Amino acid sequence: MRNSPSIIGKSLLMLLLIGGGALVLQLLTFSTNGEGTDLEHQRRFNESYNIFSLNLPTHLDFCGEPVPLELLDVRERLDRELLVNTYWQSSSLLAQKRANRWFPLITEILEREGVPEDLKYIPLVESGLTNAVSPAGAVGFWQFMQPTAMAHGLEVNSEVDERYNVERSTEAACAFLKEAHARYGSWAMAAASYNLGEGNMQRQLGRQNENNYFDLLLPEETSRYIFRILAMKAIFNDPERYGFHLRKKDLYPPYRTHAAKLVPPVADLNAFANANGTNYKTLKLLNPWLRDNTLSDHQGKTYTVLLPDKDFDKASADDE
């Protein structure tokens, strides 16, 4: 005989009521415990992880020229770049590590060429102190386009590209910046024209009848350019103010090298490296301006290459 639907229904209802109470109680207990865990997690997060707004410098200059921090938009543009470079910690840490290797050489050349030291931050913001190649074809620490590089005395061909030579490209950048400073009477304008290009800068000056960087409406990259430099200057001058703590041993040391003459033609740069106690990889690391594995005779020109010292790969006590 089949069971009556009403009897089955009553039985199921009783089971649901009895079992359901336990289920509801279990769900309530789980929800309460989960909420308590979440609250404790949130409390610990709030205690250990904090993001702070930044106090802007009260005074700031670029190459000795005062920055008008009393202007609202100037303060906000500086605030933006300080926030970006403070909280993009990996990039700013790498910048400080690399600067220990390259700033001494760059600063020495700037001083020799009569250019303010603050301009050492240009290759930092241009390339991160790496031999970068931009989508537009700008190359090296100073991001020279080929025509500008060659106009300022750099050799650029399939075998030699001095845009990759930090010393030579820094000298060329100094020449450009001194010319621009003579034209505009301001290092901020000189640096901005380095980024924007002389022709584009002249068009903006003609359009706006203004020659003060902080009063010009410029394309976003150039509008941010000086402020990116100022932000890095502020961080480098007082890293702990912005939360950066680096030990001396964390910084990348300058390469230990000595100079040697390279007289073309050289049929095999790998053989040249081996004959001078090193290998092809290290030769190219120290001389990235050598763009091929051969070097033809360039009208009797002699080149200077850097070769590793015997302790090239060893950390010294000064690095600890």
Which CATH number do you get for residue 107?
Answer: 1.10.530.10
Whether residue 184 sits in one domain with residue 167: yes
Handedness of CA 163, 165, 168, 174 (dihedral sign): positive
The answer to whether the CB of 287 falls within 8 A of the CB of 306 is yes
* Residue 102: strand, helix, or coil: helix
For residue 151, give every residue at least 6 positions away whose Cβ sits within 8 Å of its Cβ, in sequence order, or none. none
Q: Considering 201, 231, 250, which residue would you say is the last residue of a domain?
A: 250
Predicted local confidence at residue 43, as pLDDT: 87
pLDDT per residue over 205-262, tens digit each?
999 999 999 999 999 999 999 999 999 999 999 999 999 999 999 999 999 999 999 9
Q: How confident is the model at residue 42 (pLDDT cuts 50, 70, 90)?
A: confident
Q: Which residue has the higher pLDDT, 15 or 266?
A: 266
The confidence score (pLDDT) of residue 128 equals 97
- Do 169 and 270 sit in the same domain of this protein? no
pLDDT of residue 318: 56
Residue 250, C-beta contacts closer than 8 angstroms, at least 6 positions apart:
97
Residue type, 113: E
Out of 225, 250, 275, a domain closes at 250
Read off the pTM: 0.84
Residue 35 counted as domain residue: no
| Tokens of residue 49, six digits | 């992880």
Phi, psi of 3 (to 5 degrees): -70, 150
What mean pLDDT comes out for the span 32-49? 80
Residue 69 has a pLDDT of 97
Shared domain for 92 and 146, answered yes or no, is: yes
Q: How far apart are CA 41 and CA 112, in angstroms?
A: 57
3-class secondary-structure state, position 277: coil
Tell the residue number behind the tokens 């060659």, with chain if given: 150
Same domain for 246 and 261? no
- Domain total for the chain? 2
Residue 184 resides in a domain = yes
150/268 same-domain check: no
Cis ω for the linkage preceding 147 (within 30 of 0): no
CB of 264 within 8 A of CB of 286?
no
Q: Does residue 46 lie within any of the structural domains?
A: no
| Residue 189 burial (C-beta neighbours within 10 Å; 0-12, 13-18, 19+) | buried
Does 5 fall in a domain? no
Cα(95)–Cα(109) distance, integer angstroms: 20
Read off the pLDDT of each residue in 262-283 and give the average, rounded to a whole number. Answer: 97
Cβ 60 vs Cβ 227: under 8 Å: no
Domain coverage including residue 294: 257-319
